[in-house]
Structure 1
């Protein structure tokens, strides 16, 4: 890192990579770059406390666990318990257990809540002298198509800073500044609204024996572990519903009905919000020396747990590409970054879409109609009875790499 005074006052620095965003994507990029000796600076608009408490994903899939192992970081950054490979579908109160492991060698998925992964990644990076700057403001990107982009921001005390770098990793999510820095018309946005809303609830209540997806005429519900004494629940609701429409008694009544568990233990609700299920892909995931990573490039429906795992996959490809550039002066992986990421993105989007439609259509013939309801029930029956269908489902859940040479994609 080179430090000097900028012409406009404040500090001017130089580094190899500026990482914008200190969530799972940005912190994974930072840790992987540190492992291969590439310097970087991480900029985060929130406080460290705010970032650490964000509750989102809960499962690190097998492919991502093996990725961390390949970098020698699995024991350092992964916490939580190993996922036993069993997923429960409960259809009209009837239980069906599905093995979502694919039988391949190597470690399986881990029940590692996002906040635990973020805490471990943060601690690991800072312990090695990593540079994470919280509560930054007015982040702006410049000269992205030149040889040396610059990133400007203000620190918490209002001091202006300028960082010159080789690359920018945009890890600041769907509403961040990095994708907004790409000129209009460069990226194609492919979006889909599933027409479904979810209420998500975090509660201090006993977790289920296995991750649980429930289908009922009253709507979809799910129950996932988020720790030894904490659970995350999901309830299908109208797309424009508000959290205030769901007081505690209504939440627990709906869960007991849809999960077909009248004795479900309630607990203090610590967080609740509603959102629309949507999917979005930006193509390409690169503009000049800006590389979009994770939610900055793509949003996937929560079904299948692919959002955070896709971000980890992007981070791995980006870090390896930068390593090749720095170590071997080989830009092959940088040039193919977007194409390789999008191959997996579309594969996981398709799986998530399939699972989203299946569990929602199977329980509700009021809006989608009996024809689609029966199609969805047929898909579930095939999953429960066909070893071939179950194996294909397990491969998607595990996160196996899609076929290496899919048909060429076109941007509209």
Structure 2
């Protein structure tokens, strides 16, 4: 089989890149190790930056998002001293959309099927070959048969544990990482959200987040020690602890119910430089991981998709390789900006094992500065709605 762009990974970033390229007449093959049902079962982020929403519309998959997504003009932050609102609309005249990653993926699958894109799931033992030459190719096994895809370019959209980043020689890769000493215990419940916008809570007992997917589907998180397993927490214990950490006015009126999904997510910051090696280009979690505190994971991947799509379009349409040559530097500049914001949010809102009462007061003071200093709110709002591409 021959194509122009081989895309490794059939999650939202791989599907979006394929959708954008095919609409420009650039052929793709998407290889995904898991089944479509498994990809759609993943519970992930629900906040879309303004740039991500615009990119989905440009790809022709924004209709349901615009009809069903929940526009948010800001978010709430709270400490034991009380809750306050940061208005994105007032600060930077922008908003975000709450629309679950699962729904984004459904829309992308439907669009890819409609244009007849080549999506191959169950692709096992994927290997990338000759990525530093002019004729790269990919091999994989499907139904017990070894197969090969020749291509011009390979886009590695296969996540942190995928093969793409590992294909870049260790002598070339420079990896930066911080693993945080806690995780997020998350519960999905068929209940009304506690508030109309997200609530981030700093509390001496630990961080909490009240979020939602739609008007009858809520997503809640509490900070838990590293190594915590979901089965260690009953639903009743989770709701009790969440109430302790949320502002009293929310805790008293919050609707609770049985969890329909419960999981623990570890938190880490990770960046791989460079994001290009020869004809191989890394996208999304293959190159970087951010803590979920700043709602940047999917959005950062879509930023990479934007840069790579624009570079490939210029290369195929105008024989202009400059954007491909600068892809890694351009993407990494935005990656480190989002990394800083996520690191700041994480450090401001979480209780660290070695944290003293003094450190707790310093966090609360930093949060109060957002109340009293307009420029601080503007900086937060600009980063939350998304830095420009």
Using the size of structure 1 for normalisation, the TM-score is 0.89
Correspondence 1:179-198 to 2 at 5 A: 179-198=165-184
Distance across 1 between alignment mates of 2:384 and 2:165: 29
Provide the residue aligned with 1:162 in structure 2.
148
Distance across 2 between alignment mates of 1:393 and 1:184: 36
Provide the residue aligned with 1:289 in structure 2.
279
- 1:382 lines up with 2:372 in the alignment: no
Distance across 2 between alignment mates of 1:367 and 1:281: 25
Shift of 1:72: 5.1
Provide the residue aligned with 1:6 in structure 2.
none
Distance across 2 between alignment mates of 1:378 and 1:115: 37
Residue 58 (structure 1) aligned to one of 3, 21, 46? 46
Distance across 2 between alignment mates of 1:338 and 1:199: 34
Provide the residue aligned with 1:327 in structure 2.
317
Provide the residue aligned with 1:336 in structure 2.
326
- 1:298 lines up with 2:288 in the alignment: yes
Provide the residue aligned with 2:218 in structure 1.
231
Which stretch shifts more, 259-268 or 67-76? 67-76
Q: Secondary structure of 1:344's partner?
A: helix
Correspondence 1:195-344 to 2 at 5 A: 195-207=181-193, 208-259=195-246, 260=248, 261-344=251-334
- 1:91 lines up with 2:79 in the alignment: yes
Shift of 1:76: 6.4
Distance across 2 between alignment mates of 1:359 and 1:56: 20
Specify every segment of 5 or more residues in structure 2 that has no aligned partner in the other structure, as ranges: none
Provide the residue aligned with 2:114 in structure 1.
127
**1:348–1:255 CA distance, 2 compared to 1 (3 A):** same
Provide the residue aligned with 1:7 in structure 2.
none
Deviation by residue 1:296-333 (Cα, 9 ceiling, x = unmatched): 00000101100100000001111111111111100001
Residue 360 (structure 2) aligned to one of 361, 373, 381? 373
Contact 2:5 2:27 (C-alpha < 8 Å) held by counterparts: yes
Distance across 2 between alignment mates of 1:77 and 1:247: 33
Contact 2:70 2:214 (C-alpha < 8 Å) held by counterparts: no
Q: Secondary structure of 1:218's partner?
A: coil
Shift of 1:128: 0.8
Distance across 2 between alignment mates of 1:269 and 1:233: 10
**1:24–1:200 CA distance, 2 compared to 1 (3 A):** same
Deviation by residue 1:29-83 (Cα, 9 ceiling, x = unmatched): 1111112110000011111111112110101111222333445543366663242
Contact 2:92 2:378 (C-alpha < 8 Å) held by counterparts: no
Distance across 1 between alignment mates of 2:117 and 2:153: 17
**1:225–1:93 CA distance, 2 compared to 1 (3 A):** farther
Using the size of structure 2 for normalisation, the TM-score is 0.94
**1:110–1:239 CA distance, 2 compared to 1 (3 A):** same
**1:76–1:221 CA distance, 2 compared to 1 (3 A):** closer
- 1:49 lines up with 2:40 in the alignment: no
Deviation by residue 1:10-41 (Cα, 9 ceiling, x = unmatched): xxx11000111111110111111112110000
Which stretch shifts more, 39-48 or 268-277? 268-277
Distance across 1 between alignment mates of 2:165 and 2:90: 36
Specify every segment of 5 or more residues in structure 1 that has no aligned partner in the other structure, as ranges: 1-12, 403-412
**1:123–1:79 CA distance, 2 compared to 1 (3 A):** farther
Q: Secondary structure of 1:83's partner?
A: strand
Distance across 2 between alignment mates of 1:77 and 1:176: 29
Distance across 2 between alignment mates of 1:356 and 1:174: 20
Comparing both structures, which one devotes a greater share of its residues to helix? 2
Correspondence 1:354-365 to 2 at 5 A: 354-361=344-351
Contact 2:16 2:59 (C-alpha < 8 Å) held by counterparts: no
Contact 1:102 1:398 (C-alpha < 8 Å) held by counterparts: no
* Number of equivalenced pairs: 385
- 1:27 lines up with 2:27 in the alignment: no
Q: Secondary structure of 1:153's partner?
A: strand
